[in-house]
Amino acid sequence: MQGENAQSFIFDVTEADFEARVLDRSVTVPVLVLFWSRQSQSSLQLMPVLEKLASEFKGAFEFAKVDVEACPRLAMMLRLRSLPTTYLFKEGQPLDGFVGMQDEKQARGFLSSYVTPPEADPLESGRAAFAAGDLDLAERCFTDALTDNPDQHEAHLALARIALSRGDTELADAWIKKIPEEDAQYAAAQRLKEVFAFSAFAGDELELRKRVADEDSADAYYRLGATLACKGRFEEALEAFLAVVARDRSYREDAGRKAVVSLFDLIGSAEPVVVQARRRLASYLF
């Protein structure tokens, strides 16, 4: 329930404005009404669940909250026997409802029978899928975002990251080339190209983690770092490359230090993890 937009369809109702804000308004858009009390723990638990769904549905229904302690006549008029009680109003009438607590899944199921949710933003869905590690879904979402807007360069960069995580530097480069120099994503795209060189050393993460545990060698750590970098997990890659520096400065002509430095810009020089890594790198070098 954040921001002016959310506030416009999430509101408190009193006896004075119930008719206008619920009955009259429900002729235009469904209005979900929660009758609640501060004395009811279930009311206090249910309210944020319904607020979250109202924000998610972005105005497909409006969410009105009625404090029955302040509105006893409304409670009497609707013959409320237990709290919380939730009614969905349409065309000026209570269409359906439920009594007591419902979790988010149950409440969503109730609403879906009467309210059509808004179409998900493919860009937001892509971000969520990518963060969850579902690259196939993320790829579909970002591709959909480009169908809606071919100049959506955040999607181009995301698809480059996905291609890189699969070891396809040629495709990643093709996506990067679609980002014009004047776009805000351009600098990040150019930094991402620096990761291409790591793909030659990437391998199976689980096997490499086992090798690190067994060997504790600079080569194992470097290949693990390269693998993590290619998956876009730059902070974890940084840790692996620092381990290379700590173990063998001469490995591949100081490849560990060079890899660490290349990741500083990708992560962000002001990020706490980078500030700390710089100190650690300095301690290894001097």
Are 139 and 105 contained in the same domain? Answer: no
Residues with Cβ within 8 Å of 6's Cβ and at least 6 positions away in sequence, in order, are 54, 55
Alpha carbons 52 and 160: distance in angstroms, whole number: 33
Q: Quote the tokens at residue 4.
A: 């002016």
> Both 152 and 79 in a single domain?
no
What is the span of the domain harbouring residue 84?
3-112
15 and 95 in a single domain? The answer is yes
* Section 261-278 average pLDDT: 86
- Taking only the tens place, the pLDDT of each residue in 91-131 is 999 999 999 999 999 999 999 899 988 777 899 888 888 87
Residues 176 and 210 reside in one and the same domain: no
Better pLDDT: 165 or 150: 150
pLDDT of 21-34, one tens digit each? 999 999 999 999 99
Select from 262, 210, 217, 205 the least CA-distant residue to 238: 262
For residue 234, give the nearest of 215, 213, 259, 201 by alpha carbon: 259
Total structural domains within the chain: 3
Q: Do 56 and 80 sit in the same domain of this protein? A: yes
- Residue 149 — φ and ψ, nearest 5°? -150, 100
Does residue 194 lie in a domain region?
A: no
CATH number of the domain that 47 lies in? Answer: 3.40.30.10
In a domain, 196, yes or no: no
Instruction: Identify whether 92 is part of a domain.
Output: yes
Instruction: Give pTM, 2 decimals.
Output: 0.53
128/102 same-domain check: no
Hey, what's the torsion of the CAs at 235, 240, 243, 245, to 10 degrees? -80
Structure confidence at residue 188 (pLDDT): 86
Task: Note the pLDDT tens digit of each residue in 58-85.
Answer: 889 999 999 999 999 999 999 999 999 9
Q: Answer yes or no: is 70 within a domain.
A: yes
Task: Answer yes or no: is 197 within a domain.
Answer: no
The per-residue pLDDT for 140 is 92
